[in-house]
Amino acid sequence: MPRSLAVVCLAAGLGKRTKVSIPKVLLPLCGRTLAGSALDVTDALLPDRTIVLVHHQADKVQRALANRTSVTFVDQGKPMGTGHAVKAAMHALGDFDGDVLVIYGDCPLMTTATLSALRLARGTAPCAMLTAYPSDTDGLGRILRDEAGRLLGIREAKDCSKDQLLIDEINAGFYCFDARALGPALQTLKPNNAQGEYYLTDVIAQFVAEGRDVATIEAEADDEILGVNSLADLAVARLVMQERILMEHLHNGVIITDPSTTFIDHGVKIGADTRILPCTVIGVGCTIGKHCEVGPFAHLRAGTVLEDGAEIGNFVEAKKTLVGAGSKAKHLTYLGDTVIGKNANIGAGTITANYDGVNKHETRIGDRVFIGSGTVIVAPSQLGADSMTGAGAVVKPNTLIGDREVWVGVPARLKKTRDLRSIKEHS
């Protein structure tokens, strides 16, 4: 029977080095927060319990993560080290028996595969820990081993001697503990170090002193263990995360012309044979079908859906908009809170004016509608199938344009009804 799993996410830090007002763990990263990214990784492991340690602006962190199920928030109080945080988490876990996986809310690049391997490595040991050999070891705790390679302990960088600082194997800070071993060991921690804090690494030292094996595995890549302590770190993390997202779409048959200028958030769904052209931004919550084309210089925002064969062109922005199969908006257009039917043509410079200063309203555009260049449609309005607007038309709010009707002017008025044969000839 598989062991039960509890995840402990440390997210109480102040984050002074970011020099921004929001909590560090809520900094944005490709459509998610740092903490959200970290927890999405562990959610894939299907934990029985998840404890998130909070303190600095705890209310904001809790609100941002409130949509997650089976998450318990624990206010750590004044942060006094990793051992102090995990001790608070274990108190909340009560008599939990199983694996306790310790992660960090500011380490968004860890992978589910590595954490799975860490759990597997624990076996019957009281703990398995992750190590790494990064090119820059500055500020990182060093792994101490004997001549036979057996783990002796971990020395925090600020407590290292000059010789110990030359060690290139570092503690990545991710652990999988046996809950039954962790609880008692935490009770013995003392702040006997330069920082006056309770170090979780001292638990490892205690296991070693008792002659108990501690398993170690090496991280697959340096970027997995990157902690975001500054906005410069955040920029590096975004580059790594963006590359992962783009590679996934490329492997799924999405044609991305220039990945270096394409920005796609987490959770975006794109069908095979769709082309994403340069300088395109696609936000979280967008869905794009097969055989579509987006860009260049296009911006798709949350809630936008492109059905198969739809096209969004240069300098077009769409927010919370459905673009029906085969429909096109190719130039200089804003589509907000809009539903567009199939095979419609949205002319250059079209605006669906969805905001009246207080509320957002919807525009509905039917199948095979032809919108003339420079048209402004003030929502709420509805355009029936095969209808048409003239160039520069301004459609007033609460307008209902019937099927095949042609409206022109400022404000737009009915001019005529389109001939059905003419529509078929131009379709």
Catalytic, 331? Answer yes
Residue whose C-alpha is closest to residue 370's, from 312, 400, 329, 399: 329
HSE of 221 in the Cβ direction (CA atoms, 13 Å)?
A: 8
Candidates 251, 291, 331, 361; catalytic one: 331
219 vs 108, 116, 175, 202, 266, CA distance in Å? 14, 12, 12, 21, 23
CB atoms within 10 A of CB 233: 18
- CA 100, distance to chain mean position in Å, is 24
DSSP for residue 4: P
The amino acid at 190: K
Output the 3-class SS for 370-409.
EECCCCEEECCEEECCCCEECCCCEECCCEEECCCEEEEC
Asked if residues 216 and 131 have their Cβ atoms less than 8 Å apart, the reply is yes
**CA torsion 183→115→224→164, rounded to 10°?**
50
Is residue 311 packed enough to be buried (19+ CB in 10 Å), middle (13-18) or exposed (0-12)?
buried
For residue 51, the cross-strand partners are 8, 72
C-alpha span between 110 and 31 (Å, rounded):
17
* Cα dihedral 49, 55, 58, 62 in deg (nearest 10): -10
Distance CA 304, CA 236 (A): 28
Find, among 133, 102, 119, the residue nearest to 38 by Cα.
102
3-state SS, 156-212, equals CHHHCCCCHHHCCCEEEEEEEEEHHHHHHHHHCCCCCCCCCCCCCHHHHHHHHHCCC
Ordered alpha helix ranges (H), 252-406: none
Residues with a catalytic annotation lie at 331
